[in-house]
């Protein structure tokens, strides 16, 4: 479940059930709460890191939002010092979220 304050570029009909889709490469990870243009920011905890080709897929769980997968490069993982259990902040721009009505 996403927070009720989820900001999207193209909203669906009020009261409609919808599925929010965010591509892994559209999710940014931060050690501190980010400022700036992303309208969707939420805290989470790293639960899994999997190597996929030259990138890492990072599963982040949160009590405030749905689980999300972020795709980052190894250098970003090193800069963020991410490991299992690391608290992080996730962000996604409104234009990067697609809603599919159910």
Task: Write down the domain spans for the chain.
Answer: 23-94
For the segment 52-73, what is each residue's pLDDT rounded down to a tens digit?
999 999 999 999 888 999 999 9
Is 13's pLDDT higher than 90? no
Phi, psi dihedrals of residue 89, rounded to the nearest 5°: -110, 135
What CATH fold (topology level) applies to the domain 23-94? OB fold (Dihydrolipoamide Acetyltransferase, E2P) (2.40.50)
Is 1's pLDDT higher than 70? no
**pLDDT at position 15, please?**
80
CA–CA distance, 71 with 20 (Å, rounded to integer): 17
CA–CA distance, 32 with 15 (Å, rounded to integer): 33
For residue 25, give every residue at least 6 positions away whose Cβ sits within 8 Å of its Cβ, in sequence order, or none. Answer: 71
């Amino acid at each position: 479940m996403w927070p009720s304050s989820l900001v999207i570029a193209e909203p669906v009909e009020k009261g409609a059930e919808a599925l929010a889709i965010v591509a892994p490469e559209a999710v940014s990870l931060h050690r501190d709460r980010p400022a700036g243009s992303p309208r969707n920011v939420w805290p989470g905890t790293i639960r899994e890191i999997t190597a996929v080709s030259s990138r890492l897929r990072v599963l982040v769980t949160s009590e405030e939002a749905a689980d999300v997968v972020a795709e980052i490069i190894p250098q970003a993982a090193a800069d963020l010092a991410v490991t299992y259990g690391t608290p992080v902040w996730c962000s996604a721009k409104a234009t990067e979220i697609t809603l599919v009505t159910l």
